[in-house]
């Protein structure tokens, strides 16, 4: 049996402003492609599970005009998500909860999205619950991003080194290094959603050293809460190391944004 991450409701509480300001947003073209392939229209319902500040929930509401429900255990994240929805002029209902709170009382959905959140759940149990909540022809879709190995992405090695120097391996790294850890694809293949398709877009985006420092504080392993009184030393060290690579403070990064869509077998 695959291992399960411990549930921590406020893991990202102190990251909210950094998450909103510095995490890469999913490309509108990727959202539109996924929505089109899924046949989503205004008559359908979408569930964004582990919605964080609502990036996916707001994007799908804008593209499809459908009813979207965002669920997250952190009240601070939900407050940010409501602000994102209001700023975008879309109607999304956000509710406090987690994958452990899913129930048929929430109704039936056509599509379930998760952005960088599935690894924090009991994945097999979550998919079993979703089996009773996703309509025939519906799907589950996991969104993520990966930085290609390139000269432009050399900052990643710097960030990892500084993070490890200050806090060691992250919780997610420890999970994935465990021999009992199965990939998301493997878990999906053993679920009610075994028909897998990956959709990806690769972009080059401009960035800054300060943006990367801010992004590091949006991560659970180096959140302000996790760093505590080491916060100032961490940010100063990371900033100095990055400026050695990028003296101007400006940089570019290559990002692969992907959506792993899992449909029912029948």
Tell me if 97 is assigned to some domain.
yes
Instruction: Please tell me the predicted confidence (pLDDT) of residue 24.
Output: 96
Name the stretches of the chain with pLDDT < 50.
Answer: 1
- Alpha-carbon radius of gyration of the chain: 18
In a domain, 168, yes or no: yes
pLDDT at 181: 86
CATH number of the CATH domain containing 79: 3.40.50.150
pTM of the predicted model as reported, rounded to 2 decimal places: 0.93
Q: Is residue 127 part of a domain?
A: yes
pLDDT tens, position by position, 34-79: 999 999 999 999 999 999 999 999 999 999 999 999 999 999 999 9
Within-domain flag for 160: yes
105 part of a folded domain: yes
| C-alpha to C-alpha distance for 176 and 198, rounded to whole angstroms | 20
Whether residue 260 contacts residue 183, with contact meaning beta carbons closer than 8 Å, is answered with: no
At residue 89, the pLDDT reads 95
Q: Give a yes or no: residue 7 inside a domain.
A: no
Tens digits of residue pLDDT in 74-90: 999 999 999 999 999 99
Asked if residue 4 belongs to a domain, the reply is no
Can you give the pLDDT at residue 2? 65
Look at residue 179 in the predicted model and tell me its pLDDT.
79
Overall number of domains in the chain: 1
In a domain, 172, yes or no: yes
DSSP 13: G
Q: Is residue 38 exposed (0-12), middle (13-18) or buried (19+ Cβ within 10 Å)?
A: buried
pLDDT of residue 265: 83
- Detail the DSSP E strand segments found in the chain: 45-49, 67-72, 92-96, 109-115, 134-147, 195-208, 250-263
The pLDDT, as a whole number, for residue 8 is 73
* Strand-pair partners of 197: 261
Determine contact, residues 138/264, Cβ cutoff 8 Å.
yes
Residue range of the domain that includes 122: 13-263
């Amino acid at each position: 049996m695959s291992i399960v991450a411990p549930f921590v409701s406020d893991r990202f509480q102190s990251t909210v402003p950094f998450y909103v300001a510095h995490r890469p947003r999913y490309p509108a073209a990727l959202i539109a492609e996924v929505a089109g392939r899924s046949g989503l229209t205004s008559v359908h319902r979408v569930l964004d599970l582990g919605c964080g500040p609502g990036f996916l929930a707001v994007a799908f509401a804008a593209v499809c005009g459908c009813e979207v429900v965002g669920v997250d255990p952190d009240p601070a994240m939900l407050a940010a998500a409501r602000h994102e929805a209001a700023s975008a002029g879309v109607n999304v209902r956000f509710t406090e909860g987690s994958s452990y709170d899913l129930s048929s009382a929430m109704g039936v959905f056509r599509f379930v999205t998760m952005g960088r959140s599935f690894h924090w759940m009991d994945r097999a149990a979550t998919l079993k619950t979703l089996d009773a909540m996703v309509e025939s022809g519906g799907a589950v879709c996991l969104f993520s991003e990966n930085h290609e190995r390139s000269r432009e992405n050399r900052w990643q090695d710097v960030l990892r080194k500084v993070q490890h120097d200050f806090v060691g391996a992250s919780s997610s790294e420890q999970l994935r290094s465990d021999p009992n850890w199965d990939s998301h694809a493997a878990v999906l293949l053993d679920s009610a959603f075994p028909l897998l398709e990956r959709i990806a877009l690769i972009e080059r985006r401009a960035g800054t050293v300060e943006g990367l420092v801010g992004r590091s504080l949006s991560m659970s392993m180096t959140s302000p809460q996790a760093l505590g009184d080491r916060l100032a030393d961490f940010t100063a060290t990371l900033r100095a190391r990055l400026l050695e690579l990028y003296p101007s403070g400006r940089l570019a990064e290559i990002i692969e944004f992907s959506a792993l869509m899992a449909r029912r077998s029948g």
